[in-house]
Amino acid sequence: AQKVTQAQTEISVVEKEDVTLDCVYETRDTTYYLFWYKQPPSGELVFLIRRNSFDEQNEISGRYSWNFQKSTSSFNFTITASQVVDSAVYFCALRVNTGTASKLTFGTGTRLQVTL
Amino acid sequence: DTAVSQTPKYLVTQMGNDKSIKCEQNLGHDTMYWYKQDSKKFLKIMFSYNNKELIINETVPNRFSPKSPDKAHLNLHINSLELGDSAVYFCASSQVRMVGNEQFFGPGTRLTVL
């Protein structure tokens, strides 16, 4: 069975601070994908990044960066110089490669509050 | 331009009623999903259809019946609504054979059962 743990339920930071959202996953499969989604107050789910299990390169996209470490089964997400617009619930998710039976297993989410 | 659309966005109804939520995707994807997000924001898959065939059916009460008339549509019908059905329901789609197979989500339907 797959499991995703986001131990931080809520984080509050002041604008311009850096913040890291933790994600730890469990799976016995050797081939899998990890995702981060953002859910702003408006409620939609916005895809941020996908990483497959064979690609441990870190990725940077603007103020966002992701650190994937298979040794610790972690896929952490860092926002540099946070802004008020980053306030949202962030979900980490795992998908194993099972052909057509594809489903995302989500973590419980981390609510990020960025204040002025 | 909307990739995955759902109607209605809000649905308020009484216990015991039957209601439907519609989902359409214009991405040409072959797989569609229904997820439920409860009041604590926990997201869990309910159903998945690939080419109109049911391939994932989690432990969902049989009051919930998905219907996929074609690859671009996946509707969710709920009979005898209960208070515990109040949640946000998200539809999603993906292309199974696409690398990564990321799922694109609709805007959600907030269902409130009184």
Binding-site residues on chain A for chain B (CB distance < 8 A): 33, 35, 37, 39, 43-45, 47, 50, 52, 89, 91, 95, 99-104, 106, 108-109, 111
Task: Give CA A28 to chain center in angstroms.
Answer: 20
Q: Give contacts of B90 with chain A, Cβ < 8 Å.
A: 45
Least confident of B5-9, B58-62, B107-111: B58-62
Residue A115 is given by DSSP the state: E
A100 has pLDDT over 70: no
Residue A100 is given by DSSP the state: T
**Exposure pattern of A81-115 as b/e (b: 16+ CB <10 Å)?**
ebeeebbbbbbbbbbbeeeeebbbbbbbbbebebe
Nearest Cα residue in chain A from B96: A100
**Residues A51, A36: Cα–Cα separation, whole Å:** 9
Give A59's strand partners.
A66
Judged by DSSP in three states, B59 sits in coil
Tally of CA atoms within 13 A in the half-sphere of B111 that contains its CB: 28
Q: How confident is the model at residue A70 (pLDDT cuts 50, 70, 90)?
A: very high
Token pair of B76 as six digits: 């969710």
Of residues A58 and B15, more confidence is placed in B15
Would you state the pLDDT for residue A101?
63
Q: Give contacts of B92 with chain A, Cβ < 8 Å.
A: 45
Would you state the pLDDT for residue A31?
86
Would you state the pLDDT for residue B56?
82
Give A62's strand partners.
none
Token pair of A56 as six digits: 């441990």
Residues A43-72 have a mean pLDDT of 90
B99 has pLDDT over 60: no
**Residues A23, A44: Cα–Cα separation, whole Å:** 21
Would you state the pLDDT for residue B25?
96
Would you state the pLDDT for residue A99?
60
Q: How confident is the model at residue B54 (pLDDT cuts 50, 70, 90)?
A: confident
Would you state the pLDDT for residue B67?
92
Contact B5, B24 (CB under 8 A): yes
Residues B61-85 have a mean pLDDT of 94
* Residue A12 vs residues A6, A18, A86, A114: alpha-carbon distances, Å: 15, 11, 11, 6
Residue A81 is given by DSSP the state: S
Chain segment A26-57, per-residue pLDDT in tens: 999 888 899 999 999 999 999 999 888 888 88
**Residues B87, B39: Cα–Cα separation, whole Å:** 6
Query: Could you count the other beta carbons within 10 Å of the beta carbon of residue B53?
Result: 10
Query: Could you count the other beta carbons within 10 Å of the beta carbon of residue B69?
Result: 9
Residue B29 is given by DSSP the state: -
Name the one residue in this structure whose structure tokens are 């594809």. Answer: A102
Chain segment A1-19, per-residue pLDDT in tens: 889 999 999 999 999 999 9
Listed ranges A29-38, A59-68, A90-99, B73-82; the one with the highest mean pLDDT: B73-82
A103 has pLDDT over 70: yes
Partner-chain contact B42 A44, CB within 8 Å = no
Q: Is the peptide bond before B8 cis (omega within 30 degrees of 0)?
A: yes
